[in-house]
Every structure is written in C-alpha cells, then in structure tokens.
Structure 1
Amino acid sequence: MNGQVVVTGMGIVSASGCDAAGVVDHLLTGHSGIGPLRSFDTTGMKARYAAEVTDFDPAPHVAPGRLRRIDRASQMALVAADQALRQAGLHPAGDRTVGIAVGVSGAGQYQNLPIPWSRTHLVNRWMALYQSRNTPYFQTFLIAQRHGLHGPQATFSAASLGGALALGYALDVLRAGKADAMLAGGGEIQTLLNALGMEALDLVAADPCSPFSDAPGMTFGEGAAFLVLETATHARQRAATIFGELVSYGVSADAYHDIANDPAGNGLRRAMRKALASAGLEPGDIAWIRASGTGHREQDVAESLAINEVFGGGPLPPVTSTEPCFGHVNGVSPALGMVAALACQNAGHVPVIPNVQPPRPGCDLPLPGFAGNAGAKPGDFLLNAVAFGGNNATLVAGRYRSARRLPPLADADIAITGIGVMSPLGHGRQPFVEGLRAGRRGIAAIDRFDIAPGVVRQAGLVPDFRLRTLLPRVDPRRRERLVQYALAAAGLALQNAGIGPRDCAAERRGLIVGLTRGPMGPYERFFGTVLRGEFDASTAHLMLRMGRFSVASELAHVFDLQGYCATVCHGVTGGLHTLAHAVEVLRRHSDLDALLVVAADEVGSLSLRLFDALGVLARPDESGGERLRPYDPKATGTLLGEGAAALLLERETRARTRSARIYGRVTGYGLTADAAREQGGLEPGGRWLERAIRLALQEAALHPADLDWVMAHGCGWPAYDAREVRVLTRLLDDQPVSGVVGNTGLAESASGLFSVAAALWGMASGEAYPIAGDSQPPDSLNFVLGTPRPGDYRHCLLVGSTERGANAALIVSRGD
C-alpha cells in the first residue's frame, strides 16, 4: 500500500511561541526567536545568543511528584505531544493503534549535572537512575505511557537528522498498515556542554544566525514539536481536520568522512532526488524549500550546491530557513520546521528568514525578502535536514490533495544473505555456533579494565579482539572499541554475503544501526577532561565521537554505503526492533537493493558501575558466584555482555539474480508497547507482548502450532523472565524454547541479532541450541537444556522486550 498520509494535529513549544497559532503570528511578522543567552553564564564565550523558551511553565502539565524526575526537554516534549493529540481529537483507546517515533540528537538532556567518570567518583542509586533516564528512548516511553500509546515505538538518535527520520518512519509504519496513527517529533534543550563544544569547534555565530549570509555561524536553541499523522482514509472516517500531507521522504549518507559532510553536497542531492521520485514529482512541482540552513559555514554552501544541481540550473523556488526562528535544536529542528511550514501554509503564507542578509559566495539562493526576491506561495515543499557525519534527509510535504496520485509500490520479499557476529563466544560463525552447541558461557572475570570495590566482577567481553586480523584494510587507530566491533561484524556479514561494488551500487546500499549507548571510551574521557576544568577543540571532538551517530557514519564511510542511513535507539533486545524497521525500509524504498543491519554494545567501567548501582546485576548466590540464570525463579540478576552482530538484507529477486545464498526471510513481525506504569514500563501479564506475537503470526500467515522453535530473551531479571514465560505458555504447545543471553551476557542491543544469527544457523543445521548454564527454569515451557535438540526447523519465532516495555516479535523462516 502507498496511500496518502495526512497531518491532523500539531504541537509546538519554542522560542517563537508555545502553540502553533502563536508561532504563526511570530513568524509571519518576521521576528526572530533568538535573544541573549540566559540559561548559563557566557562570560568569556563567543556564544552570547540562543533561542530559549522563556515563558514555558511545565507545572500545569506535569504532576508535581513527577516534575523533578523529568528533564526539561521531556517536559516540553510532553506538552507539545499533548497539544498535537488534542488538536487531532485523537484519544488512543479501544481497537485504535497509535504509535510514536521520536527524533533527537542523542546528547544528554540534563543541564550541568556531575557525571561519575572515574573509580573515585561516587555512583549511587540516584545517579544510576538518572543515567537510566538519560537515554533518548526514555522521552519516547514517557509520552507513550502518558497517553497509552500501544503501537510501534522508535527513537532516532541521529544528530540533527533525528526528527526527519522519525517522520519518515511514521510514514512507513502507516503505509504498511502497522498503526492507525503515529505521533512523531521530539524535544531537546541547549546545554552548557553543547555550547562549549560547538564554540570550541568554531561553529557558533557571534550574533544571531543568518543562514547563507556573509556572517556564518550557528545559533542553538531549545524546544519541542510533535505531529499526529494518519492515513487519509482513517482521518476521513473519523472526520478529522486535515492540516497538510506528508508525501514522501529520502535519506542518504555522504560516506565521505566519519564527522564532516561532503562539501559538494552530493549526499543531500541524492536525498532530494529520492524524495521527489517517491512523491512522483518533478523539481518544477516544488513551490518552495525549507532548507536545513543552519548557518554552518560548509553545510550552507554544500546545501546551495545540492539545490542548484537538483533544479538543473533552471529557476529555483524560494528558499527559506526556520533556524533564526527556533535556533538549531539539533535532532528536533526538522519537526519544528515541519510544524512551522504547515501551520504557516494553512494561514496562507510561507515563513521568511528574519534578519536576512546578503548571501555569501557559493550561497546564491533566492532568499525571500532579500534584494526584492518574491515570497513563496503555499504548495508542495521540500524540507531538508543535514547532520554531522554526512547524513541527509529530505521530506516532501504540502497541502492535502485528495486527487494526488503516488507511484505504485511493488511488494518485495526480503531475504537475509549475510551474517556477521562478534560475540563473547568468539569471532565469526564457528566459535559462536560451537559455543551454542556446547552450552558454553562467554562470561568470565573482567580483566580489561579496573573494577571498583564491591562491583560485580563478571561480564561477557569479546575475547582476543584485533580489528586488523579481521579487516586488514581498516585502520583501527583512533576508532573506538564500539565502532571497531560494529565494523568487524559488518565486514563479516558483507564477506559472508559475497556482495561487492559490481553487485550493488553504493547509493543503493543502506545502513541501519541499533545502539543503546554510544561509544563508552570517549564518554569517559570527555567527562574526565571536563571535570578537570579543561575544554578545547580536542575535547569537543570527543563530544562528537561519543555521539551514537558516529558509529553509522564510520560504517558508511568504510564500506561506502550511500543509501538510507539511520541510528535507532531502543534498549534491551533493540536488535529485533532494528531488524523489523530495516525490513520495512527495504520493502518501501525502491531506490534500495540491500540494507545492512547492525546492533552493537560495549561494556565499560562506568556502565558496569551504573548497572550495579541499579541493583539489576547478579549477586553471589548459594554457590558463592555471580551466575546468569535465565528463567530461573531464583535468579538474582543479569550479567552484561557486549559485541556486535550484522545482517545483510536484500530484495530476494536481486539476491537470486546474483545467485546469493539465502539464509532466511523475515516473513512477519509485530511491534507493540506496554506503556505501563508498573515495573518501569512492563505490564506483568504480557498482554501487549502477546499482541506483538499474534501480529507477527498474522503477517506470516501462520498459527502458533505452525512454529517450530522459539528464541526468547530471558536474562535473569525475574519479573522480565516470568512475563515472557506467561505469554509463551499461553501461546505454545510443546515447541522448544531457547535463548542466547546465557551464552553472551545481556548485550542490550546486540542480543536481539545474536538470537537471529543463532536461529538462522540453527535452522540450517537442524538443531535448537540449549540455554547455557545451570539454570532451572519452570517446566511450563519446553526449554532446551543440556544438549542441542535436532529437528526440522522451518519457522522460528524471536521475541523480546525492552526494559521499558516496547515489544518486538519476528517470524524468521528458513532459507535455501
């Protein structure tokens, strides 16, 4: 299905107003939202201006007891989401499925909070709880919990691209029929550390920013924006007011550098052309462009080159930017720009650039309001987003036209043709499979870093790792451990698939990376430097390298992946969610032939101490040791693991053309959310987890009795494991149940893909692997224990939930 998707609700909290009507009044008078920076002392700094929300009071919107536990960015996000749902008249209830997609940069949302960076710094439960709430997906969970949103969830932590990816994801989910409506957007603030970092990189404007002008530089801001999207059919059925239409989107990677953008704008040019093609439009059909237009010296020039090339040297439509209205709010900027664009168009106008100045060389664009350039007229428009690391997105939106005809979308079967694993059991297929067969635990005493007294001393670490051995042409120097794990797994998957440049052009190969945390090394070094009172350009570069987006940028650069590129953040079993997302992207984007899916985790001293302080790690039991015992009612907690797994997905017709081996297919998936108030977000009965499984079965045209094997993710958390057992007991007959967490430890994102790799290799060899260790699970399920169980396994169910209750179920069917 390639049906129309419309916007029926919008909410905004910004420096230019705290509702859509106020923003329109502000923007149409040409006023900037930028003023003197008041959030922190700027003495000695170049950054003296910001777009701050000065009249925001969260108290009427957030209960006093919760207010102190919710950061300012999430407070604004809650209010913007409330506005959007209220304007849409949408009340998630009954059979209606509403999901949520959030896009943020991934930076810390708290202001000036001490971070424990060395063994001498105190780590207590309060600090650990703060860290657990400082993940990007916590904002997603808060909004879903508040409104009872039980549909698909996704959080994009992709620098300044996050909001655009969230809107694109919502579009794909709706067209796939996976939800009735989606809420998409996000909230972020400006922090002192971000200001110091951007200033050290010489990116900050001395005066309020003026994109494309003689005075380059960025001005940062804060705010939140959300949009309610639904299919036009669903909106008409409930007589909703339609404010606009989201028509299509295109995403690309420069594959130019791990941090810098391609100065020629080639990646953005590809994204713009993809978006136009997906919309069935020509450049001449575009009425105006909301440019990324941040004021960044090189990015503005590159965007100007891309726009000129897409429009072929002919007349350019008016080009404007909303950055002087809202400041640069990192990953939320695309959502803010979309709300402003649609709200102003509905008022019969298009936003202009406040304080527009003469363009600088290389930025020869028709900026409305300058040198007599005419203002734009409402119509279909492009919204561009450009991020550090060379990631780009373009959205096509405009007024809703019921007569609009979109290009037909051909159904595509998606095959898995490559598998790569870097795990605590070893590197590649052989040690991984042999370890699973033997029920071997890759968990051992930690010897890679010092451990604070009293902290759990065991984890599943990747042994004897040397990137040069696995990828001789890739230089490991200055590459963080997490990045190296991801590179190694990706390289193994591509080698295993036997795919090369002649098989698939670079712009037709894409990438999705699933992470829970960014690289731990630069994170610890960054805060260590800051707390010593030091901050210079090298410190700022550390800040960029600890960003989650940096992993995808490195992978795209090394393997020349120029197609779709996204970083998504889910939490525990996030790899399953990432794979489901990848399947839908490849189905819906005919400009792609192959998509690399990577999930990676790293255990560091800080992460170990924080988990330990939360009280979720295994304690010495009656044997005197720390043991991970999945599904055992007497388990005392989990043990952490690390590593990376990668899968190469291809359109099956394309794979068969090059005679590729097909390991398996994802024949169905279901995504739901508990949005519960108990147990940190997990609904004990597993109602929504069961719903996810039934959705996956429905898409695969299977019944529970048709399943041959189940891979689950019990990890030694009694409540989490018991919930899985309850659900599977209700659904299964006597099918064998396995899991890999006992072998690898709990690798938050990668465990999901470790399980997929185990299922694919197990089905190929006709064996279901045992749960490792001496766990004593309940006999209500047919757990595989001790030795592998031979059988003819055709369909494997993989099921898992995040610690916040976002559920994923996938049916993986055997390949050739």
Structure 2
Amino acid sequence: MMETNRKRVVITGIGILSSLADNVQDFKDALLNKKNGVANSERFAKWFENARAAEVLHDIDYSALSKEIIDSLDNAALWAYKVGKDALSHAGLVDNQVQLKETGLIVGVSSAGTEAFLPLFEQRIEDFSLRKALFSGGFASCCSSVSTLLGLQGGVELVATACTASPNAVGMAFDYIQNGKSKTMLAVGTEPIYLPTFAGFYALNVMHPEACSPFSGNSGMSIGEGAGALVLEEYDHAVARGATLYGEILSYATSCDAFHETGPDPRASGAAQVMIKAMENAGITPDQIDYVNAHGTGTEANDRIETLAMKKVFAGHEIPPVSSTKSYFGHNIGAAGIVELIACLVTLPDNRILPTLNFTTQRPNCDLDYVPNAFRDKKVNIFMKNNYAFGGNNCSMIVSMAPGSIPVSRFEPRRVAITGTGAVSAIGHSIHQILDSIWKGHHNVDLCDVTFPEDTQEEAKALLDVLNNTRQFEALFGDAFSLSDNRRPEGHQPFKTFQVTQLEPRKHLRRFDPRKATRGGTFALIALSEALEQAKRKIKRDGDELGIVMGMSSGPQETTYKYLQSLKPDPRKVRTSEFPGSLMNAITTFCGISEGIKGYTTTLATGENAALGALTYGYEIVRQDLQPQVLVGGADEYFPSMSLYMNAMTDKLHMTSDARDYQVYGQDPKGYVPGEGACMLLLEDPQRAEARGVEVLAEIVGYGKACSNSYFDESIQGEKSASMALAMTRALADAGISAEEVDLVCGTSNGSPTSSRVEVDAIYQTFARDKPDVPVVNYNGCFGFVASAAGLLNLTVIIECLKQQAVPPIPYTEAFFDERIRFVREPLNLKLRHVLLVGATEGGNYYAFVIKGL
C-alpha cells in the first residue's frame, strides 16, 4: 500500500459559554483578568453545606427560538445550540445551507437526558414536563435537537466518556474530515451540573472548600459547568473561502488504563501512552511541545499521576510549562476539554501562557513548572491538551497555533475487515447458537414477563396522576388521546420482552467477577471474548494494540436506577458505589479492565443503533492505521424503567405475549418488542489478518451517514426518508459501487409504523430506478429489538448469508405493508457479493454500510 498525507484540519469557528462569560471576547477578557468563576452555589446549598461551584448564571438570549422549542429543551441542548450557532457564525457558515447539509455534529457530554427527570428524584413531581421528557429525555436527544435547529445533515454522534467526552468529540470530528466524509464538522461539549453529578462528587469527598488549586496547597476539585463548540474544517477548503484560521489540530489519541473504575493507574501508564500516541500520530517529538494544558483537577491522585505521566513522556527532554485552567472555571466534566482548549486558543495568540491560579505550595511529587498565578510571556506554536476520566479513559490532543507550519503526518490507508464476531441474545448465548436457530427457523422463544420494582410502580402512578391532571398527553397528542384508567400501569395488559435466560457466564469466560458485573456488562464481555476467540486474538502484554468502541442506548440501567433512588430522601447520603457504574462508559470500562484492553477506547451513546456509530468510528481508526485492531459493539440489559412506562403510554411498545406477534414491516404494525443482549465485532486490515492465518469474514468497503432536520415534527416522514436515502447514496459513493451492484438490503427498523415507513421509503427511493427488485430482510423479530446492537446483530446474520450464499426469510411477518418492496418471505438461494446494511436512531440519525463478501 502507498502512504498518503493526512489532511490538514483547522479551527475556523469558536463558541463558548462558561461561568466567566457567554461570548469569546468576554471570555478572553475574563481569562486575562484572572477572574475566578467558582462561588457559593445557591442551587446546591439547599442540600449541601459549603456548596461551591462555577455555574452559568448568564441571561442567555434564545430569542431566535419559539417558546415551544425552548420549553422542549434542557440546558444541555440549549447550551449546545447556543455555542454551536456562535461557532458557525464565527466561521461564516451559519447561513451556508449547502455546506451545512454536509456538516456533521459530534457532541461530548457526561450527564445528558437528566434534566427532564430531575423532578422525579428531587421530589417535585408536579414540575414534570412530558414535552421536555419526550424531546430532551434521551441521552442523545441534544444531538437531534441541535442538528435540526442548526440545519446540519452530515450525521451526528454523542460521545459519553465522562470527563474526556468533548476532546474525544473533537478527535472524532477530525477523523471524519480525514476520511473525506465532510469538509466541515461541528464539535460541541456541553455539561450543566445536575444534582446526581454534584451529589456523587460531594459524597466522594473530593470537593475543594474554596476554589481548586491544582498541583498545590490543599487538594480538591471545583465542579463547574459550561459548553464550547469548534468548527473544524479541511485546510484547503477553509483557505479557498477566506476563512480565519484559529489553530490546526495536528492529531489526537485516546487510551484506557484498564486498571480501576475510578482511580488512575498509579504507574501512569495509560496517561503516558496516550500522549506518546498523540505525538506519534502528529509526527512530532517531545522537544517540539511548547506548552501542556493539563487536566489538573486539583485532586491529590490526578495531580500526582498526571505529573508522573509527563515526566515519563518528556524523559530526556526539557519538560515544557504546564498549567491547569480548571483554576479559572472549575471542572466542566464532559465539556471540560473543549472549554479548556478554547481558553488556550483565545490567549496563546497574544504569546501568553495561562497560569494556574490559586497556586501556593507545591504538593509532594508535584514538581514541574506549573506557571503559578501569573501569565508567562512565551510564543507557543505546538501545545498539548490532556484530559482523563473515570474508568481510565484518557485523551490527548496536539494543536498548532500556526496552521500550516508543521509538515503533515503520513499514514497508510488500510482496508477494514471483520475477523471476529460474538453475540448474546434471547435465542442463543453465542454466535453459533444464534445463527443455528435462525437458519433452522427455531428462533421462536417464550417471552418473559415485565415486572416493575414496587417503588417504580408508585412513582409511575404519581407521575401519571400529574400528567392526567395537567392534560399533558392531550396537549401533545391531541384530544383523541386520553390517559384513561386502562392505560395506567395497573390497568395495562401484561407486556413481555425477549430476555436472555439460563446464562452461565463462567462457562464462557476465563475470568468473571459477578460483584463488578452488571447484566449488560456481562453480555458485552461474553460477546467480546467470543469475537476475540474467533479471530484468534489473545491479549497478552499487547493490550495497547487493541481498541474498543462501544455504542450504548440505555446503558447500565439497573445501576443508574439504584444510584438515582439513593438520592432520595437525602442527596448527601447518595451511594457512591453506584456513581461511576451509572455512567454510560461503565460497560466499556468493565470490558477494558476485564480483558486488559488499553488502546483507543470510546463510548458513544447515540441511542438506538449506537453500535452502528461505533462501527463507523472503529472503521476510521483502522482505516487510518491508528490502531491495528478495534473491537466495536453494543449491549443492552432489560430493566423495567420509567421509560418503558412512557413507551407503553405512547404506544411505541408492542404489548404481546407471543414472539410471533413481532412482525416487522407488517400490515398492521404494533410497535417494537424489547430485547436484550450484546454483539461485538473485531475489525482489522485483511492483510494483517491473513498474515496471522485468520479467516476474513467480510469487508466494510464504505459507509454513509446523514440526519434529518425534522426532530420536532414526527409528521414529516418524507424528510426522514430522504435523509436515510442520502446516507445510502453516500455509502454507495464511498464504496464506489452503484445501486445495481447491491445484491441484498438489510434493514433494522424496530417495527414501529414510523420507523418501518421511513426505512422502506428510503430503500425504494434509492433502488426504484436501478434495482427495484432488490431483496430486503430484517431479523429483529428473531431476537427482539436490542436497541443499541440491533444493526450489528443483523450484520452477523448478513455475514453468514454471504458465506452460505443464502438468505433466511424475515421471521413471523405474513402480510407486508408495502408491495413495492421485495421482502424475503421464504428461504432464498442468492449470489451475494455486496449487501447494504441500513439503520437509524430514534432521533433521526441514519447509517448505511456496504458489506462485501470474500
């Protein structure tokens, strides 16, 4: 293969919101005046003594939005919209409809989807808003609302790696430009402080009584909130349109300590590894780094380990000045990295290095040049931005303040093949069992009853009383919809789910600790182990050569439920044991620690089919030769949560007692039947696999993404279908094939009327002219709708279809709703070379992949 130059990726737009300011100029002025945003918190003083925080208290102008939209959104979405719009305006792109259609959105956040449900665990249930719950209650809902409001159609993803979320989002945006998916990308970090987050850190006893003083004095962090946005743009494109360049992203990297759920590796191995990898990706050496903007939380463990990591990385070189900007505006959790990066971008052009404020006496083992208290006059070209998170997630970014001054690095583009698969579902605990059931048509399972914890039932009854009394259902769904007694939980006909039963983890795993394993984590680990075994990949001391990207929908539901319940009645007594386990990256962390996976590590939480987002990101990492191998996957655990009640109320769920009633694409669709399980794939270059004597199962030869701008109007199905068709068109173009060359289409509709109609109309639009008789399948009826992993579970069946040159029929469905489409109704022998896999999230984000047989 031939090496190729990386594309230059520059920053052309900035948006900021912090405790210091709500615009770039005021933010810069506050930094230069060494303003400290940490103060007494009136909001949290209600529960906690000496509650201190760096809060956003500005009166933000949302006059461009209707009151209905404002009432539908939480602060995470409103702030992301504000800074995103500011960044696009700053870049001169806010009215460029042609470019916005090609621009994708990556959001980094830790505690999304929380605000709508605050009334439930703050014991003010009368304040609950169904509108806000529907439009802002999903973890990735801010992506859908913001992309709609800003007119972006390049596809979205939500990164949920806690305190590394926003720099990781910038890194993903960088990758999509590298692969030519777009000339422009919008990366956003947004993080309001909510009670569960504040209570968790407070209970861990890591809060500073005044304002944090990283690397010095008394240890302790200051929690903060805020948002930041950057427009990333391909260099030649930016120059051609005369854009102002504020910096160049040279590279980034992520890694995992694979050590502990909360504490950093005392050897600082992962923190050092990620810096070395980022410099390697940029093609630079340690002596070229002029400045390091540290994570610098102010806690004893972080500051000591981060200092040790820098000593390891810069061994034999002069260690550059280091400072922590958290001393200005606190720790902004998911938004921390991007807000701190923006602080550098607005001050370094004046040849001034930000100081570490509140600096007193250096702590033991903290003996670097931390630029104490006063600005340092120094010209900086290249600086490093580091962030670390719970679970040992690490992220490092290399940035140049003089775009075009550093030679671009080179890489060898790789093909991307699937060499290992693993899965757990209701019809089997391994890929072999699942495929055997499907091929033999023995996939009919007994559904399991949904049983809700008693306290959840009481909560639901109280909530439904509020909804009834305030007529919120009628307001949203019209007078025809009334919440009558037979819709109350006790009046529901029982509904059931596809659940994994009789699973014995120790039969599948060499090492298994049930005390640390959640149900979803167990599924993921079993699937992961199977994929590694099939690909003959044993992890010895080379875990840094293997990455893992997980896509989550609901995440560790049971742990999250227990943590939130412990907030009542006294948030000061919250159970800290569940705090890190309630984060969206907890399952990825569990898998990394269990197997010693230390390479590129990321968790996406983009909702239904989030694992397809993980597949696009894993593809990028392998294709750019950033990592030899990457595991991608998704996992879902059944838990009778409040969201099940809500979905039952709004008829999204199909309440049935027979699996055969789950008829995807049926004439009379009733909604989806939930499933649980996991699916994992191992991706690598086929030449490397063949060199190891490993069979290549299939190759991913192209993909496309798109998102609709109809999040607030469910009735605009035509736009949704057009957006999904756009993703398919982009995938075909990326693969270099025509629609006529596609031999089979595999959909992943959950079976609801809207989902199925959008998917089928998009398939028809794409193939009506060149191949109207292309066969269409969907196997969700076999294992239930396993939300995050539905697309990957269908992909495992596709791989077997390519191998067998045969296609099993769509299960159960007898009468299909659209005669224009050739649904596979009977077993089909078919010559297969290219299969198109398509999928969607619930928020209107669409994926398409071209899978090639070998």
TM-score, normalised to structure 2, is 0.90
1:221-246 Cα offsets, whole Å, 9 max, x none, are 11110000101111011111111111
Q: Does 1:763 align with 2:802?
A: yes
| SS across alignment from 2:87 | helix
Task: Report the equivalent of 1:102.
Answer: 107
Q: C-alpha displacement at 1:666, in angstroms?
A: 0.4
Q: Separation in 2 of the partners of 1:43 and 1:533?
A: 8
Equivalent pair of 1:99/1:152 in contact (CA under 8 Å): yes
1:678/1:374 CA distance change after superposition, 3 Å: closer
Equivalent pair of 1:101/1:155 in contact (CA under 8 Å): yes
1:731-783 Cα offsets, whole Å, 9 max, x none, are 14322211111112211111011011111112112221211113421221111
| SS across alignment from 1:426 | coil
1:10-61 Cα offsets, whole Å, 9 max, x none, are 0001111111111111111222121111223256535x22111222324435
Mapping of residues 521-540 of structure 1, within 5 Å:
521-533=558-570, 535-536=572-573, 539-540=575-576
Q: C-alpha displacement at 1:468, in angstroms?
A: 1.4
Q: Does 1:324 align with 2:310?
A: no
Q: Does 1:496 align with 2:534?
A: yes
Q: Separation in 1 of the partners of 2:396 and 2:534?
A: 33
| SS across alignment from 2:331 | coil
Q: Does 1:610 align with 2:646?
A: yes
Equivalent pair of 1:631/1:775 in contact (CA under 8 Å): no
1:180-226 Cα offsets, whole Å, 9 max, x none, are 20010121111222222111111111110111112111111111100
Equivalent pair of 1:15/1:54 in contact (CA under 8 Å): yes
Q: Does 1:570 align with 2:606?
A: yes
Equivalent pair of 2:113/2:140 in contact (CA under 8 Å): no
Query: Which moved further from structure 2: 738-747 or 168-177?
Result: 738-747
Equivalent pair of 1:713/1:739 in contact (CA under 8 Å): yes
Q: Separation in 2 of the partners of 1:401 and 1:695?
A: 30
Q: Separation in 2 of the partners of 1:429 and 1:190?
A: 42
Task: Report the equivalent of 2:675.
Answer: 641
Task: Report the equivalent of 1:781.
Answer: 821
- What is the one-letter code of the residue matched to 2:264? N
**Percent identical across equivalent pairs?**
28
Task: Report the equivalent of 1:29.
Answer: 33
Q: C-alpha displacement at 1:542, in angstroms?
A: 0.9
| SS across alignment from 1:689 | helix
Q: Does 1:691 align with 2:741?
A: no
User: How many pairs does the alignment contain?
Assistant: 805
Instruction: Please point out which of 58, 78, 82 is paired with 2:85.
Output: 82
Q: Separation in 2 of the partners of 1:549 and 1:400?
A: 35
Task: Report the equivalent of 1:735.
Answer: 774
Q: Does 1:790 align with 2:837?
A: no
Q: C-alpha displacement at 1:498, in angstroms?
A: 1.2
| SS across alignment from 1:202 | coil
| SS across alignment from 2:410 | coil
Mapping of residues 447-458 of structure 1, within 5 Å:
447=449, 449-450=451-452, 452-453=489-490, 454=492, 456-458=494-496
1:523/1:132 CA distance change after superposition, 3 Å: farther
Mapping of residues 106-121 of structure 1, within 5 Å:
106=111, 108-110=113-115, 113-115=118-120
Task: Report the equivalent of 2:360.
Answer: 357
Q: C-alpha displacement at 1:122, in angstroms?
A: 9.2
Equivalent pair of 1:599/1:645 in contact (CA under 8 Å): yes
Equivalent pair of 1:158/1:567 in contact (CA under 8 Å): yes
Instruction: Please point out which of 343, 348, 353 is paired with 2:351.
Output: 348
Q: C-alpha displacement at 1:161, in angstroms?
A: 0.8
Q: Separation in 1 of the partners of 2:730 and 2:308?
A: 45
Q: Does 1:752 align with 2:791?
A: yes
Q: C-alpha displacement at 1:123, in angstroms?
A: 12
- What is the one-letter code of the residue matched to 2:308? L
Q: Separation in 2 of the partners of 1:398 and 1:363?
A: 27
1:651-672 Cα offsets, whole Å, 9 max, x none, are 2222111111110110110011
Q: Separation in 2 of the partners of 1:419 and 1:520?
A: 25
Q: Separation in 1 of the partners of 2:698 and 2:126?
A: 44
Task: Report the equivalent of 1:405.
Answer: 407
1:21/1:774 CA distance change after superposition, 3 Å: same
Mapping of residues 674-685 of structure 1, within 5 Å:
674-676=708-710, 677-679=712-714, 683-684=718-719
Mapping of residues 131-210 of structure 1, within 5 Å:
133-210=136-213
Equivalent pair of 1:710/1:737 in contact (CA under 8 Å): yes
| SS across alignment from 2:245 | coil
Instruction: Please point out which of 534, 547, 552 is paired with 2:588.
Output: 552
Q: C-alpha displacement at 1:117, in angstroms?
A: 12
Query: Which moved further from structure 2: 342-351 or 291-300?
Result: 342-351
Instruction: Please point out which of 272, 275, 279 is paired with 2:282.
Output: 279
- What is the one-letter code of the residue matched to 1:719? T
1:681/1:350 CA distance change after superposition, 3 Å: farther
| SS across alignment from 1:648 | strand
Equivalent pair of 1:629/1:715 in contact (CA under 8 Å): no
Q: C-alpha displacement at 1:800, in angstroms?
A: 1.1
Q: C-alpha displacement at 1:271, in angstroms?
A: 0.6
| SS across alignment from 1:596 | strand
Q: Separation in 1 of the partners of 2:757 and 2:116?
A: 38
Equivalent pair of 1:213/1:357 in contact (CA under 8 Å): yes
1:540-591 Cα offsets, whole Å, 9 max, x none, are 221211111111111111111110000001222222222122101111243x
Task: Report the equivalent of 1:56.
Answer: 59
Task: Report the equivalent of 2:749.
Answer: 714
Q: Separation in 2 of the partners of 1:544 and 1:5?
A: 34
- What is the one-letter code of the residue matched to 1:746? F
1:295/1:437 CA distance change after superposition, 3 Å: same
1:13/1:632 CA distance change after superposition, 3 Å: same
Instruction: Please point out which of 437, 440, 461 is paired with 2:439.
Output: 437
Query: Which moved further from structure 2: 797-806 or 707-716?
Result: 707-716
| SS across alignment from 2:254 | strand
Equivalent pair of 1:221/1:327 in contact (CA under 8 Å): yes
| SS across alignment from 2:672 | coil
Q: C-alpha displacement at 1:373, in angstroms?
A: 9.4
- What is the one-letter code of the residue matched to 2:207? V
1:301/1:624 CA distance change after superposition, 3 Å: closer
Mapping of residues 245-264 of structure 1, within 5 Å:
245-264=248-267
Equivalent pair of 1:379/1:399 in contact (CA under 8 Å): yes
TM-score, normalised to structure 1, is 0.94
Task: Report the equivalent of 1:651.
Answer: 685
Q: C-alpha displacement at 1:691, in angstroms?
A: 1.4
Q: C-alpha displacement at 1:124, in angstroms?
A: 13
1:705-729 Cα offsets, whole Å, 9 max, x none, are 1111111013221122112111212
Q: Does 1:668 align with 2:702?
A: yes
Q: Separation in 2 of the partners of 1:501 and 1:481?
A: 24
Instruction: Please point out which of 231, 252, 258 is paired with 1:228.
Output: 231
Equivalent pair of 2:412/2:625 in contact (CA under 8 Å): no
Instruction: Please point out which of 12, 24, 30 is paired with 2:16.
Output: 12
Q: Separation in 1 of the partners of 2:389 and 2:552?
A: 18
Q: Does 1:808 align with 2:808?
A: no
- What is the one-letter code of the residue matched to 1:465? L
- What is the one-letter code of the residue matched to 2:425? S
| SS across alignment from 1:809 | strand
- What is the one-letter code of the residue matched to 1:27? L
| SS across alignment from 1:645 | strand
Task: Report the equivalent of 2:521.
Answer: 483
- What is the one-letter code of the residue matched to 2:26? G
Q: Does 1:215 align with 2:249?
A: no
Q: C-alpha displacement at 1:87, in angstroms?
A: 0.6
| SS across alignment from 2:439 | helix
1:471/1:43 CA distance change after superposition, 3 Å: closer
Query: Which moved further from structure 2: 473-482 or 679-688?
Result: 679-688
Equivalent pair of 1:344/1:351 in contact (CA under 8 Å): yes
1:797/1:361 CA distance change after superposition, 3 Å: same
1:469/1:449 CA distance change after superposition, 3 Å: farther
